[in-house]
Structures are given as C-alpha cells and as structure tokens.
Structure 1
Amino acid sequence: MTEIRVLTDDAQYRAHSTLFRRAMHWGPPTDDQWKVTQPSYEPGRVLAAFDGDLMVGSTQTFGGTMVVPGGAVVPHSAVSRVGVRADYTRRGVLSGLMREQLSTLPDPVATLRASEGRIYGRFGYGLAGRVRFLRVDARKAVIPGSPVGRVRMVDSDTAEKVLPELHTAFGLGRPGQISRWHGWWVRAFDRKGDFENLVTVVHSGPDGDDGYVSYKVTEDKEFNHHMEVEDFACANADAWRDLWIYLTRLDLVDTISVDAALDDPVNWLFEDPRVVVTKDVFDQIWLRLVDVPRMLAARTYGPGSVVIEVHDKLLPANDGRYRVSSDGVERVDAPADITIPVDLLGAVYLGDTKFSHLAAARRIEGSRFDEADAVFASPVAPLCSTFF
C-alpha cells in the first residue's frame, strides 16, 4: 500500500521532477533544466506517493488566482506534474494522490491540462474551456489602415522586468485566465531552453503600455520562415489590432501560429478573412470545483432561475441543491430542476458548455435546460493563455 507524503527539500523536488518527466517519456532534468525548474516548486504544495522509500507517483499545485464570469478573481490552484511510475500504474497510486490533493487544497477551484481526456473526470474535473490553434498566411495578410499607437521592441532584461507587471495589469481579462507565479516567469525567461531567441514587443497607447506580444521565428529546410506566438496580452482593441499589424508586416515571415479563444474575432482584421485558418480546436481548461457553494456565489448569472442538485463523490460537502439566479445563489430544499455531477458542473461553469448539450448527450437529467443555459451563459468565451 502506498503512502502519500508532502515533500520538503530540493533533493525530493528533483526526484519528483524526474519521476514526472519519466512518466511523460522524457529524460531526467539536466543541471541547466533543473536550475530553471527548481523555483517552481512551492513548499506545502508538492505531493508524492511512496512504496516504502521508493517514490512512485507525483503531483503538485501552483497557487494563484483565476477570473470567473463577471470578472471576479478567486483563489486558484494550478495542478501539474501528475505522474506515476510505469511499473506502478493501475494500482491506485493516481487515485490516492488525487484524493489527498483535493482534500487538502487551500483554494476553492483547481484547473489542469489533461494529457489524456479520460483520466480526470472521475476525480471531478470537467472540460470547461477550449482553445483554437490558428495559422495565419502572413504573405497574404492585409490589415487596412495604420496603427494608432506605438510598438517598441524590448530586450530580454527589460521584458523580464515589465512583462509580469503588464500581465498582472491586463492579462486576466477573460474567464479562465489565471495569474502567473514566480516559478512560471523563471521558466518563461529561460534563455538556454525552449524560449531561446524569443522576441518581445510592447504596445503603448495614450494611457501608457497596454499590450505586448512575445514570439520566435524559425526557418525550415525550404527557407520558409514560421512564427510561433508564445504570449499575447492586450488591455484594449487598439493595442490588439496594432500588435497584429506589427506581426503581419514583419519581413521574412511566411506563416504565423497562435492560440486564440473560440470567439476571438481575428479573422475580421484582414481584407481576406481566409488568411486565418483554424488548424484545430482542442480541450484546454479542465476545472474542478473544490468548494461548490463558494464558486457558485463567485460568478455572475443571466436572467432566470434554476435549481441544480450537485453530486460529488470525493468531496461530499459539496452535495446539495442550489438555487442559482441573477440575484445570487442559495442552498435550498426545493425540488431540483437538474441533477448534475460535479465534473459536469465544472464543464458549464465558465460558459463553454451548455446544460442542453449535456442533456442531449444524456449526461445529465432533469428539465428546463434552456433556462439553465441562459442563467449560466457568459458573453465571453473562456481561455487560459498560461500553460503549466
């Protein structure tokens, strides 16, 4: 039988990192890799499963905040580095880790990025947000008009100083966006790893800096130049448009790849909307409501009222009936309109999924699904542009 322990020192953290990387079929961290990984380990948030003295499973969280529909910001745990040794899978190691983590999380909501889509539903995580992978033909991309602000390129040292401040100021505009912790930025500014040769430009409007984009350009064997946009944040539409003008008018760039929200209107920037192609739509935010009453009360709602009955096998304190309306949320004894497990409540929470869709798929039971859709609707599609 395995034992779950909280890790406390750097030697354990590095073994934890090695175990996770092995589970993902990567080699152990080199000394250079560990130098940028170590600051992302937060005391009290790192768990491991042990068989005797042998570490056989890993998980951890990063503390921060998340935006919910209506703009409120709530404490949030970003769950990452979940792995089990290949010779210990199918023995309940992951279940033990997930149960212990959920029972001790200090935050009312958690999200993760799922390596496999079938794993996390049984632990109460629901697919709550998707992302579009876009490809832009920069050779044909024409945006009418001229920029209205100023774009300036900044060096690596300047970017390291100003980007965390700018992201805090305006990078959390959509439901699902999360704050970034110190260790995240350390990895982002790693100049010897994946982000080598990263270029950052900052946009300034009448009220100061209000947007930035970071990207890198690579050249293939046929001398085509491909841009990968790594980070893009704006406070307003003018900054967004000006930065796209900058990107599409760069010399020696043939294609641009960027992640975008489902409702991002980038196609309409261009004289020919076909220069923007959606290459894929992929699941992104897997959300776990750890404290259902608190999280239901945190967001805003549309017109109407609906009573939902929630079932949570792992955290039974969440079980109950809740009347949800534009006036707020309360526990009630009234008959339920809809019965829903906590993972599917997470799926509808940010507005990406509808109750009526889940009902059509026979995933939930009840009635008044259209009314519930209206109550939980969000005018803005969710997105999380912080990978962890």
Structure 2
Amino acid sequence: MSEFLVRAVAEGEQRACLDVLAESLHGKPATDEVWAKMAPSWTAAGKFAAFDEHGAPVGIASSFDVELTVPGGQKLVTAAVDGVGVRADWTRRGILTTMMAVQLEDFAARGVPLAALHASEAVIYGRFGYGAATFGKGVSIERPRARLRDGVGRTGEVRFITPDEAVERVPALYHRFEGARPGFVSRPPAWWPGFFERVVKGDGGYRVAVHSGPDGDDGFVVYQTIDARDRQAPERGAILDIRELHAATPQAWAGLWRFLLSVDLVSEVSGRGRPLDEPIAELLTDPRAVNTTEIIDDLWLRLVDVLAALRARSYGTAEPVVLEVHDKQLPDNNGRYAVGPDGVERTSAEADLRLDVATLSSLYLGHGLFSDLALSGRVEALDEAAVARADVLFHTARSPWCGTFF
C-alpha cells in the first residue's frame, strides 16, 4: 500500500492542489489565464492535502470561513468546505477519510461550531457527520401563460448593469440580504472573484439586472438565455435560465420576477435551487404555468460543536426534550442535551430521543421533522411523546435556504 501524508497546504502549492481537484472532478488543469482569475479565491489558508512519497499532491480538502444564519437570526462562523477530491489512481486507500478527519479536528481546534458543503454525491458525507440541511427546487415557468396579477411588482424599476458594474456593486447589495432566512451564508471578499466575477465576465452570456425601490438598489438577478429553436420548432422562444436571484424586500422580489416574465422572445423561464417555499405561482393568474421540475439537496451541514450550535439557535414553544447524540469523529460531542425554548444544557437525565450527529445536523436549520426520521429509524424514540415536542421546538416559519454555491 502506497504511503501518503496529510498536512496543511503551504504557500505556493495551491495551483497544483487545484489541478488535483479539477482532475478528481473530471475537469482540466487550470490554464494560466484561469489560474490568474482563480488565485485570489484559492489561497493556501484552510487547505489540507494528501501528498505522495515524492511530495506531489494526490488529494485535497479545502475550506474558508463564512457566517451562516441559524434559526432566530444569529450568525455563526461556519467552515465552508469548497473543494474535496482524490486523484483517481489514489482512491480507496483511506485518503478521503484521513483528510476529512484532519479537517474536522482543525475546525474543532479553532472553535468553529459548524461546517457546511455542497455534496457531489449524496452517499459520501453522511459518514463524516454531515446531513442535508437545506433543499432547493427547480422551477419551469411557461412564459406565454405567465400573466401576472394586477399590481404585482410595479413599485420599482429594473435596469441592466455591466459586468464591471456588477463586480463593483453587487457584493455590497448582497450584504443587505444576509440573515434573511436560516441557511443563508455570507460571501467573504475571497468568494467573489472565483464564483461571481468569473461568471458575469465569462463567455456564458450572463446578464445582471438590478431592482431599485424607494430606498435604492434592493435586489438583483443573474441569468442567461439559451436558444431553444430547432428545425421542427423555428418559432420557439429562448429559455431564460436564472443563475441567482436575491431581493431585500418582497416588493423587490416581485419586481424582479415581473421583469423576467416580461422579456420578449422567451418561451420558458427556469431556475434551479430556488427556495422550497418561494411563492412564484401566487404572482400569476394561472398558477399552473409554474412547474416544479425537481427537489434537490443543497447545503449539507455538520455540527462541529454540538453544544455551541444548539445554544445559538431559537426554538419553538414546547416542553424540553433530552437528545442523546453520538459522534464517531468528534467524541467530545457525545452525550445528552436538554433542549427547550429557554436554552440548552448538557444533562445526565434520561434521553427522550437518540440520534447521530449527521441526523441532528440535517434537522438543525428547521428542514424536516423528527417524526419523519423516527419512522425511518434515524431517530430512536425512547419517549414517543418527545417526538412531537421536538418537531415543534425545531420548526422554523421559513424554509431554510442557502442560495450560494461554493
């Protein structure tokens, strides 16, 4: 069995590690031009890699710190895991397990209470304590049928901005939305060059439009149009595909949708990863013009410090429950926690419910029900009455949503 060493990435090793990540995801090594654009977002900080006996990287686990809004509005420092991969000729040797263990130990040592990622495969990260905590829906709107109700979205104006203007203005605008709902994450300065600027200044034909209301700019949308015509349907309009849409107020949100649904020569408006509770159909006289095309897992969450995370969020009105939590990777989290509307404490009392940290992580932001997971055996009910209480305690009025890729 070949030997490998997992250690922190040193300055100057980032590009080689990025190439390993690209190869593991069936991509190509970064050209000089691509690397010049990626370098500001791909720093050595927060990266651990596996190196072979010659010092070449063969695996990478990367992260950077953000703030994530939890139920009740508090923002917790969260490690955003943005790149994990192992070179194909080095898989099945324990590299991923070792890197994830080293990464989690680093988060715990730094006092980071949460970690989050977007999973390339849904079967990988549960064994490291991550659970799917936010979901998104795909929508497809039949543009010719999409007539808006009278007065919807008419209180502001929408205008295009250039790519340079978008790079300059949108980060500050996005900051207005942070904390809007559970699951929302901040976008630190290093995020924008790699994940936003490359898109709006790239060759994908993306447009950026900004909504302005009484208090100035209060929403934006990034989209592209895709030609859907062919020989059988030369009259078919384009598909307007939304990459992201954010608004600070309901009026700005409605105004942006009014704009999108009024673009000429468009047959369909589509978007992926929209909030599960986004009421697009309520804007229209014919709600059947809106079709949900998919429901997909979005943000996977990991409680690194269970006590700190549980104490940070708010709870509904119900009698407390005692949760017994099991965590194989971070055994300091093992134990029982009394959770109620007045706070959270470790306790020696008998457990009402028993679950592992991945299951608790998936329920933490308010998506899903303890009662549903009890049916599947992921939550063990030692007191049947406690299941309904836990549902009430962890419920949130708004569906958790992330809305940011990393």
Fold equivalence (TM over 0.5): yes
Which of 108, 119, 122 is matched with 1:114 structurally? 119
In the comparison of the two structures, how many residue pairs are matched? 387
Cα deviation for residue 192 of structure 1 reads: 8.2
Structure 2: distance between partners of 1:268 and 1:351? 24
Q: Percent identity?
A: 40
The match for 1:256 is: 269
Structure 1: distance between partners of 2:302 and 2:202? 30
Deviation string 1:305-326 (CA, Å, 9 cap, x unpaired) is: 1110111111111111111111
Q: Within the alignment, does 1:288 sit opposite 2:302 as a pair?
A: yes
Q: Within the alignment, does 1:209 sit opposite 2:211 as a pair?
A: no
Q: 1:321·1:332 contact (CA, 8 Å) conserved in 2?
A: yes
Q: 1:189·1:195 contact (CA, 8 Å) conserved in 2?
A: no
Trace 1:305-316 onto structure 2 (pairs within 5 A).
305-316=320-331
Let me know the Cα RMSD of the aligned residues: 1.5
Structure 2: distance between partners of 1:252 and 1:200? 18
Q: Closer, same or farther in 2 for the Cα pair 1:344/1:57, shift >3 Å? A: same
Structure 2: distance between partners of 1:275 and 1:36? 40
Q: Within the alignment, does 1:7 sit opposite 2:20 as a pair?
A: no
The match for 1:61 is: 63
Structure 1: distance between partners of 2:298 and 2:325? 24
Q: 2:49·2:58 contact (CA, 8 Å) conserved in 1?
A: yes
Cα deviation for residue 42 of structure 1 reads: 3.1
The match for 1:181 is: 188
Q: 2:14·2:44 contact (CA, 8 Å) conserved in 1?
A: no
Q: 2:61·2:99 contact (CA, 8 Å) conserved in 1?
A: yes
Q: Unmatched 5+ residue regions in structure 2? A: none
Structure 2: distance between partners of 1:192 and 1:356? 43
Structure 2: distance between partners of 1:299 and 1:43? 32
Cα deviation for residue 221 of structure 1 reads: 4.2
Trace 1:144-293 onto structure 2 (pairs within 5 A).
144-146=149-151, 147-187=154-194, 188-190=196-198, 196-222=204-230, 224-258=237-271, 259-293=273-307
Cα deviation for residue 171 of structure 1 reads: 4.2
Cα deviation for residue 63 of structure 1 reads: 1.2
- The two structures have a TM-score, normalised by structure 2, of 0.92
Cα deviation for residue 43 of structure 1 reads: 3.4
SS at 1:386's partner residue?
A: coil
Cα deviation for residue 364 of structure 1 reads: 2.0
Residues 49-58 or 98-107, more deviating = 49-58
Structure 1: distance between partners of 2:203 and 2:277? 28
Q: Unmatched 5+ residue regions in structure 1? A: none
- The two structures have a TM-score, normalised by structure 1, of 0.96
Q: 1:153·1:201 contact (CA, 8 Å) conserved in 2?
A: yes
Structure 1 segments, 4+ long, off by >3 Å, are 191-196
Deviation string 1:185-206 (CA, Å, 9 cap, x unpaired) is: 1131126875642211211222
For 2:95, give the aligned amino acid.
V
The match for 2:333 is: 318
Structure 2: distance between partners of 1:349 and 1:195? 39
For 1:46, give the aligned amino acid.
K
Q: Within the alignment, does 1:336 sit opposite 2:351 as a pair?
A: yes
Which of 372, 384, 387 is matched with 1:357 structurally? 372
Cα deviation for residue 8 of structure 1 reads: 2.1
Q: 2:37·2:193 contact (CA, 8 Å) conserved in 1?
A: yes
Q: 2:206·2:223 contact (CA, 8 Å) conserved in 1?
A: yes
Q: Within the alignment, does 1:39 sit opposite 2:40 as a pair?
A: yes
For 2:23, give the aligned amino acid.
R
Cα deviation for residue 126 of structure 1 reads: 0.7
Structure 1: distance between partners of 2:240 and 2:189? 27
Q: Within the alignment, does 1:26 sit opposite 2:32 as a pair?
A: no
Q: 1:108·1:289 contact (CA, 8 Å) conserved in 2?
A: yes
Structure 1: distance between partners of 2:150 and 2:127? 51
Structure 1: distance between partners of 2:216 and 2:93? 56
